[in-house]
Structure 1
């Protein structure tokens, strides 16, 4: 099973989930056994590890996160999170944020980005820096007592500023990753999650937009209805996989988001006048 976050926490109404404007904060605690989960992000995130440890397995690297470390991860990453508990407890603070928060933050503090490189994940330690550690501890206390939302937002901004103070180049690269894809964010999210989308409702959940906004966006950008766009993108991806991989027809069907192989074959034949198997053999 793939967990889409923060959607999973919202849909399951986590009691520790707090919404502040365009931010979502979660004081996450688990006492279950060590586990490994597949996850995708529909918002950018900041994670602060308080107890235990975890490994984030990305497509091209593994990131080890230990107690008293913080990480920033860009939206729409697909990863495997492998958690290890310490003394039967895993505890972290999670903050989910969108492009607007970053734009406002950069403008508010007049941050001059000095790097042109991009980095989708950044890690830092706050244990050895008393100012950074105090910022994290205060933020944690504010979350416990549901403090004034304006102060909570300021504490989040303070943690960002502390991370920039200690890891300026890496944080600038992280900001660049967000800024470089912001204009095509909706398209990027939809295309990268084709396998999870079965309906317009799924599009809304993945992008966190209303039905009307999704319809208008797809009509404006592609001149199509959501259903026609989804069908074309699925088949476009299927053709790519048939041409360039040895994946079975069943695997391709699943990867492209079809509920059954027979439905995939039927739709493919409808558009290409031949079955996927026939198409592959003619290449």
Structure 2
């Protein structure tokens, strides 16, 4: 459930997140259950009462786990979008920041002010008619002030408005090929326009991005099934395929045998 830039999650069964690209900074708290966040640097587990801040322009997969006693997974997030932060920087005369080079996921669990603030958002989901654009804007300002008070070093985190810089394409793609995002997103994260991304990709891999991604994902699937005894139903989503039938068709076309019969 989303109202303006406020999001509330409540799920009673284990649920895989759909969006794998973090477009805007997000501040959130886990009210019950657990959130497992899968990144190219490993898995981060957010337990009940965990508070975290994740930086924009990140690739991440998530899994929501309800509690074992039957209580649902619940979480509240507020998105700190670039337009709101630019407005804040203008109002409070914040100088231009250098490119941020710190951690991309910040643990803020011990901050009681942020806990109280995030829990104060819950009534707006029960009464969405009370949430106006003005209140949403005020809540965003309040969140930013609390973050800067908790960690003044977050000035660079929040107010670095630079786009991703151009990085090593080969290393990035080999590390992130399992993320199911558009070529536009891959291009942006490597600091390129889509046209430049496609051109550099062909120079690097001697293949188109779409064909290379499919081959790379299928090769990884073959390895996991043949060598690690993984079941196709357990891995196809993790490898970037949208459904099992498409995965099975592509696998058989590539290797001449169904993944179920390997």
TM range, smaller chain: 0.5 to 0.7
Cα distance in 2, alignment partners of residues 30 and 96 from structure 1: 20
Partner of 1:239: 206
What is aligned with 2:134?
150
Q: CA deviation at 1:141?
A: 1.6
Change (3 A) 1:30 1:183: same
* 1:98 aligned partner: 81
- The residue aligned with 2:157 is 174
**Cα distance 1:82–1:74, how it changes in 2: closer, same or farther (>3 A)?**
same
- Say if 2:40 is the partner of 1:59: yes
Q: Distance in 2 between matches of 1:253 and 1:37?
A: 22
Distance 1:153 1:50, change over 3 A: farther
Deviation for aligned residue 1:98? 3.1
Higher helix share: 1
Change (3 A) 1:74 1:249: closer
Alignment gaps of 5+ in structure 1: 1-15, 185-190, 208-220, 242-246, 262-283
For the structure 1 residues 179 and 17, does the alpha-carbon distance in structure 2 shift closer, same or farther, using more than 3 Å as the test? Answer: same
Aligned residues between the structures = 204
Distance 2:204 2:17 in 1: 25
CA gap of 1:80–1:168, structure 2 versus 1, over 3 A, is: same
Shift of 1:91: 0.7
Q: TM-score, normalised by structure 2?
A: 0.59
Structure 2, unaligned stretches of length 5 or more?
167-172, 187-191, 220-238, 252-262
Shift of 1:28: 1.2
* Match among 121, 134, 143 for residue 116 of structure 2: 134
CA separation of 1:81 and 1:232: change in aligned 2, threshold 3 A? same
Aligned-pair CA distance for 1:179:
2.6
- The equivalent of 1:18 in structure 2 is 3
What is the deviation of 1:37? 4.8
CA distance in 1 between partners of 2:65 and 2:135 (Å): 32
CA deviations on 1:227-247 (whole Å, 9 max, x unpaired) are: x66753552453399xxxxx9
C-alpha contact (below 8 Å) 2:32/2:75 kept by paired residues: yes
- Native 8 Å contact 1:41 1:78 kept in 2: yes
Deviation for aligned residue 1:29: 0.8
With a CA cutoff of 8 Å and minimum separation of 6, indicate the structure with the bigger relative contact order.
Answer: 2
**What is residue 214 of structure 1 aligned with on the other side?**
none
Q: Is 1:251 matched up with 2:216?
A: yes
